[in-house]
Amino acid sequence: MSEPQDEPSAPAGLSRLLARRRNAAPEPVVDAVIVTGQVLPPGSPSGIRTAPAADPKAQTAALTRLFAHAHEPLELLRAFGNGMASLHGELGDMGRRLQSAHAAKDWEAYARALRQLIDKYIRTIDVDDPLAGPTDAEKLRDLLRQTLAGALASLLHSAPDLAAEAEALGGGLRQWRPGQDLSGLAQRLRELCHQIGVRSGDSQEQQVLLLGLFDLLLENVGELLDDSSWLQGQISVVRDLISGPLDQRSIEDARLGLREVIYKQGLLKQGIAESKLAMKQMMMSFVDDLNGMAVTTGEFHDRVSGYSLAIRDARSISDLNKLMQDVLQDTGRIQQQAARARDHLIAAREEVDAAERRIQSLEKELSDVAGLVSVDQLTGALNRRGFEELFQREAARTERSSNPLCAALLDLDNFRLINEHHGHPGGDAVLRHLVDVSRLMLRATDGIARFGGEEFVILLPDSSMTESVSAMNRLLRALSVRPLVYEDARIFVTFSAGVALRAPGEGADTLIKRADKAMYEAKKAGKNRVVSAG
């Protein structure tokens, strides 16, 4: 018998609940077939059968038949209870409670069961609401699409095929809707991540090889230069930069420092070249004067020989007088020219001496400017090159005297938070403040060097381990009572430090590594403290 076309369908909430139970637990389904208007008692098998497998169409038909004759409120409540009782598990128990309450006309108990059903199950059902905005799945889809097609594709500019695949995946995610199959997109995304990992490893390896090649080239250029050459300093800065972790700030600081040094060195080189050219021109002028004097002297010698012959052939006193006057005139001219040549020689000598002094002054200034690469431009402390030179001097001295030599590695605490709250200018002010206070508290023989970022190394000659640890603790206390005032804010600066005593013959790298290990122990112990290396 065909079903009437105008029979009421199952309520939407119950259909969703039944569908949710089907998706969550594919167990044998209890199908209800109710053909009479009688209420089934709790636990009664009458009118209820268990099917090994449930067909969605059959379940929908069963629900349709269940609510077909429920035209009145009481009939609708009875049909709803019978429908709930046909389910298995906790929902079936709740349906039997609804049946009992309906049979006893205990509407308060029926209402309590309904509230429990609503609170526990129906409130968790997603209801499509066009005014509610995108769902969480759709928001996640849009974020993933923007990550792939926007950020990731722009980062993969060096790999056009991977960038195109990232954009294609973004386009695929744009078309996806909740409930659709994601297996194809997921497989493509996994493959893209795998290819990015492979290409990233290759790119990092190429970067390491290029940096190694560049370092080798700089080393070879340095071997060709004299140790006192001003280029040695610049080469050392670049080699120190590429040997450590690269970041935009350290590269920019090195670039600005080198540009300033190169500009000053260009001016000084130009001055030296001009002084050397002037000295060359003076020497050439003096040589020309000497040549002219030699020519004139030769001519005078020839004239004197002529005068000798004329005197021998002279026949009267008047002829001799005339010849004497000519000889005196020529001799006077020679004397004048000799005096001018002497004056020119003296002036040239003075100018040469002045040019030599100028060259020496400029070369010294050039050497001093080249020495700027041993100093950190931001804080005024030594940089790595300056520290290495200081360590070599102090290590050689302590080897001869057998005195102790300690190194302390300092790392500022919470420096990233300082940059976030006060900006990079505030962070730079903190670095300068640490160096200034350190110079006030340390001895003149101690040296402080910036090793990059917020790390500093303090070299303490002629200090035992106990004395060096005490010096670092004094520096901590000094910083605690001398906060930095920056833009009307008080910034308290602390650091974690590790102190290591140099062993005989120990190099700088090994010493710093031991101090670095102790510094990390200070960090783990709570920061703002000093730990000695074992």
Task: Report DSSP letters for 301-319, one per residue.
Answer: HHHHHHHHHHHHH--SHHH
* DSSP symbol at 126: -
Single out the catalytic residue among 27, 350, 365, 454: 454
Q: Which residue blocks in 25-157 are alpha helix, DSSP H?
A: 56-66, 73-85, 89-103, 107-120, 136-146, 153-155
CA–CA separation, 468 and 466 (whole Å): 5
Write the DSSP symbol of residue 414.
Answer: T
Name the token pair of 277: 């050219």
Q: What one-character-per-residue DSSP string does 335-365 give?
A: HHHHHHHHHHHHHHHHHHHHHHHHHHHHHHH
Compute CA distances 489 → 421, 426, 479, 485, whole Å. Answer: 11, 10, 15, 5
First to last CA, the chain: 94
| Cβ-based neighbours of 439, under 8 Å, separated by 6 or more | 448
Whether 82 and 66 have beta carbons less than 8 Å apart is answered as: yes
Strands 447-452 and 455-461: antiparallel
**Number of other residues whose CB lies within 10 A of the CB of residue 95:** 24
138 catalytic residue (yes or no): no
CB contact at 8 A, 53 and 28: yes
Residues recognised as catalytic: 454
